[in-house]
Structure 1
Amino acid sequence: MRAEENDLLTRVGPGTPMGALLRQYWIPALIPVELVAGGAPVRLRLLGENFLAFRSPDGEVGVVDHQCAHRCASLFYGRNEDGGIRCVYHGWKFARNGQCIEMPSEPTETDYKARVKIRALRVSEKYGVVWVYMGDRATPPLLPHFDWDELEDGHTLSVSFMMRECNWVQAMEGDVDTCHVGFLHLGAASPDDFEEGTINYYRQLPENLAPKYEVIETAYGNIYCAYRHAGPDQFYHRIGQFAMPFWTMAPSEPIDHIRARAWVPIDDHHSMLIVIGGPRSATTLTKEGRALPGTSAPIRFLPNTTDWLGRFRVEENPRNDHLISRDVQREGSYTGIQGIPIQDQAITESMGPIVDRAKEHLGTSDRMIVLTRRRLMHAATALRDHGSVPPEVDDVEAYHHVRAGFTVLPRDCDWLDYYNQRRAIWSDGTAEPIARKHRGSRQMPGQVA
């Protein structure tokens, strides 16, 4: 990848092609409990821009430019009052839509508040998240939907946020790189750790660390399948998703599971992982009843602070080498870093704030990464050069009945046919099946990738 291509892919600030693309979509931004009615505002940085989020005493959320339109003092120090937020410098007050509604420092005859407005983002609260729309449409598109309304009775959505100190693309790419799981997370595991003949997330990966791949472009993004032997005449399949512009679905659960992960750029050097979905299944234990070394550890968050990068930071970070233990690494956890999320965090942050992709040497296991980069860059340049808005911005139906997971199938079973059968069940037969553009290019299990 050339340097200019890397810049196109990674830079998201105002005026950048990728930034313009991302601003076409609704962006998950906050957890509702971060904003207390009538309470302190929250500094919010998104796509390299600084905003202030607050919940007015009546319970409604506003997200506005953090600077007062008068003398550019920060509204972070403002008063959260009925009807809006008031700058404490000269008392100017702004409604949630950014309109100045009071200008007490100005005499009545020269009051011009009706002509003063700060930028305000459109806001929606749904699926346990506060969403914002940073685009310039008068009427925003609809919110995306990943079957979150279709959880089984008794199950509720879980939402988590976790900041990562690196560019959003390299963070996201780890989620569509299924090959790394057998090394980074399960490098200390052996198939003998599990009962022979069992099929689960852990046993099949150590059995074959170099799976075959197929990657297909879809209406919403890309889908991949990595497959490997799982006993006589069977193959273990890991099916994962990328959905425009920053959504992933990892195959860490059985295929019917509902969970989507957003990799939201805070700025060029920081990103926020936001996970929305159903409950996780129990951790698979070894036949001795223990968890695999290094895979199971609670995420330890630092206390949130009020600065621009102070939300949802983990204790393990580049300044303490992610608390790696070389003793533990030698004794069998493979990485010496505790917990799968922190292992991912350490590796992607170790690449630097923005990795220099000109130094890469990619292989067949990187097919999904390559196609995802191409999809993003093509969409960004099409918008820049021709004004072409990606179709899934308005066709949010494209996100429905999209899931990821693992499954075991007979050797002669086409994984895509199986996936489309499951998709028909999820959608009561209404979802369009995913098709290969070139049927003859499909690789059957056992062929060279």
Structure 2
Amino acid sequence: MSPEDNALLTQTGPGTPMGALMREYWIPAFMPDEVKAGGAPLRLRLLGENFLAFRSPDGSLGVVDHRCAHRCASLFYGRNEEGGIRCVYHGWKFDRTGQCIEMPSEPPETDYKDKVKIRALPVAERYGVAWVYMGTRAEPPALPHFDWDEVEAGQPLTVTFMMRECNWLQALEGDIDTCHVGFLHLGAATPDQFEEGSINYYRQMRENLAPKYEALETDYGTMYCAYRPAGDNLYHRIGQFALPFWTMAPSEPLDHIRARAWVPLDDHHAMLVTIGGPRTGATTLTKAGKPIPGTTSPINFLPNTTDWLGRFRIDANPRNDHLISREAQSTQSYSGIEAIPVQDQAVTESMGPVVDRTMEHLGTSDRMIVLTRRRLKWAATALRDDGVVPPGVDNPACYHNVRAGYALLPPEQDWLDFYNARRAVWSRGTAEPVDRKRRLAPAPA
């Protein structure tokens, strides 16, 4: 990859092509209970910009530029009052639309509050998340939902946040790289740890570390299937990428509903936001009834602070080498790092704040990553050069009936036919099938 393309894909601040792309979509920004009615405001960094979220005493939610329009003091120190937030420097008060509603430092004859407004973002609370829209449209597009309504109809959604100290794209790419699971997460397992002849999510990964791959373009982004022998059948892992920053990993049976957003806070930090149903899938237990070392450990979070980057950090981080145990690595676990998400975090953060992709040597196991990069580049440059609205912005229905997961199929059965048949069931026959021949992003010259 050229340095120019790497910059295009990774930089999301104001005025960048990828930043403009992401601002076309609703962004999952924070947990609604992070701001209490009449309570302290929340420092919020998104796409390299700094905002302030606050909930007025009446419960209404606002997200505004953190700077007062008078002398640019931070409204983080402001008073959360009925109807808005008041700067403590000179008393100017702003409502949740950003409009200045009081200017007490000016006498009546020079009061001009009606002409002063700070930037405010549209905000919505849905699916256990507070969303913001950072784009230029007067009327924001519809929210995506990945069939979360179906989960909500029967049980509460599970929502989690976790910050990662690296660029959003290298964090996301780890989630669409299924090959690493057999090494980083399951390297300590051996097939003989499982019941002989059993069909097990973890057994099949270790029996064949180099599966075959297929990656396809879709209306919403890209998808892949990695498949390998499992007895007389083939074990398939089907995963998804949806624009601009969503992934769905095959860690559950195929019908499961869970999506993950890799939201750039700035170019060196990302927030992983997971929304979906509770885990019900594969176990990490062996035939001895014991978990594979390192796969089931709890994740410990540091207390949140009021810093711009002080939310949802884990205790295992680059400053303590992610708590790696060399003794455990040499005697019982493959990585020496506890918990699967921490293992992912360690390797992607080890690449540095923004990985230099000019140093890469890619193989067939990287098909999905290559295709996803191409899809992102096409969408960002098409918006920049020709004003092409990115996929999913005006067609949120394309996110419906999109699932990831694993499936065991006979060798003669086409995995895509199986997936499309399942999708027809999920959609009650209304979903358009994924077509192998469809090409949405032009191939590079």
Smaller-chain TM-score range?
over 0.9
Residue number in structure 1 paired with 2:268:
269
* 1:215-294 matched pairs, under 5 angstroms: 215-232=215-232, 234-281=233-280, 283-294=283-294
Q: Secondary structure at the match of 1:437?
A: coil
CA distance in structure 2 between the aligned counterparts of 1:375 and 1:17, rounded to whole angstroms: 13
State the shift of 1:391 in Å. 3.3
Aligned-partner Cα distance in 2 for 1:405–1:195: 22
Measure, in 2, the Cα distance between the counterparts of 1:398 and 1:153.
21
1:145 CA drift (Å): 1.3
RMSD of aligned residue pairs (Cα, Å)? 1.1
**Which shows bigger deviation, 199-208 or 307-316?**
199-208
CA distance in 1, matches of 2:316, 2:284: 25
Rounded to whole Å, the distance in 2 between the matches of 1:55 and 1:201 is: 44
| Other structure's SS at 2:69 match | coil
Unpaired runs of 5+ in structure 2? 440-445
Deviates more, 1:92-101 or 1:383-392: 383-392
Residue 443 of structure 2 aligns with which residue? none
Which residue number in structure 2 is paired with residue 302 of structure 1? 302
Q: Is the 8 A contact 2:164 2:313 kept in 1?
A: yes
How much does 1:17 deviate? 0.6
Q: Secondary structure at the match of 1:368?
A: helix
Q: Which moved more, 1:191-200 or 1:267-276?
A: 191-200
Alignment partner, residue 20 of structure 2: 20
User: Offset at 1:152?
Assistant: 7.6
SS at match of 1:291: coil
* Contact 2:61/2:96, CA 8 A, preserved across alignment: yes
CA drift of 1:191 comes to 1.2
Residue type of the partner of 2:285?
L
Q: For 2:416 and 2:156, how far apart are their aligned partners in 1?
A: 29
Matched, 1:410 2:404: no
Shift of 1:390: 1.2
Instruction: Kindly state the Cα deviation for residue 153 of structure 1 after the two structures are TM-superposed.
Output: 5.7
Return the TM-score normalized by structure 2: 0.97
Question: Are the aligned partners of 1:13 and 1:268 in contact in 2 as well (CA < 8 Å)?
Answer: yes
- 2:365 is aligned to 365
Distance 1:199 1:147 in 2: 29
Matched-pair contact (CA < 8 Å) for 2:217–2:438: no
Asked if structure 1 preserves the Cα contact closer than 8 Å seen for 2:284 and 2:295, the reply is no
Name the amino acid aligned to 1:218: T
Give the whole-Å Cα distance in 1 for the aligned partners of 2:345 and 2:213.
25
CA contact (8 A) 2:243 2:391 kept: no
CA distance in 1, matches of 2:435, 2:143: 25
What residue is the counterpart of 2:336 in the other structure?
336
Question: Partner of 2:166 in structure 1?
Answer: 166
CA distance in structure 1 between the partners assigned to 2:277 and 2:88 by the alignment: 43
Q: Are residue 353 (structure 1) and residue 378 (structure 2) matched?
A: no
Q: Secondary structure at the match of 1:71?
A: coil
Distance in 2 (CA, whole Å) between partners of 1:22 and 1:154 is 31
Kept in 2: contact 1:294–1:336 (CA 8 A): yes
CA contact (8 A) 2:220 2:398 kept: yes
Any idea what SS the aligned residue of 2:40 has?
Answer: coil
Give the 3-state SS of the residue equivalent to 1:150 in structure 2. Answer: helix
Check 1:73–1:194 CA distance in 2 against 1; reply closer, same or farther (3 A cut): same
| Alignment correspondent of 2:3 | 3
- Measured after TM superposition, the shift of residue 45 of structure 1 is 0.2
- The TM-score with structure 1 as length reference comes to 0.96
Classify the secondary structure of the residue corresponding to 2:374: helix
Alignment correspondent of 1:445: none
- The answer to whether the 8 A contact 1:174-1:348 is kept is yes
**Structure 1 CA distance for aligned equivalents of residues 377 and 438 of structure 2:** 23
**Amino acid in structure 1 at the alignment position of 2:235:** Y
- The answer on whether the counterparts of 1:424 and 1:430 sit within 8 Å (CA) in structure 2 is yes
Distance in 1, Cα, partners of 2:151 & 2:163: 27
Match of 1:342, SS?
A: helix
SS of alignment partner, residue 328 of structure 1: helix
User: Which string of whole-angstrom CA distances, capped at 9 and with x for unpartnered residues, describes residues 1-22 of structure 1?
Assistant: 0101100000000011100000
**Residue type of the partner of 1:191?**
P
**Corresponding pairs, count:** 438
- Measured after TM superposition, the shift of residue 199 of structure 1 is 2.1
Q: State the match for 1:58 in structure 2.
A: 58
Report the Cα distance in structure 2 between the residues aligned to 1:222 and 1:417, rounded to whole angstroms. 17
2:324 touches 2:337 (CA, 8 Å); kept in 1? yes
What SS does structure 1 have at the residue aligned with 2:366? helix
> What stretches of structure 1 of length at least 5 have no aligned partner?
440-449
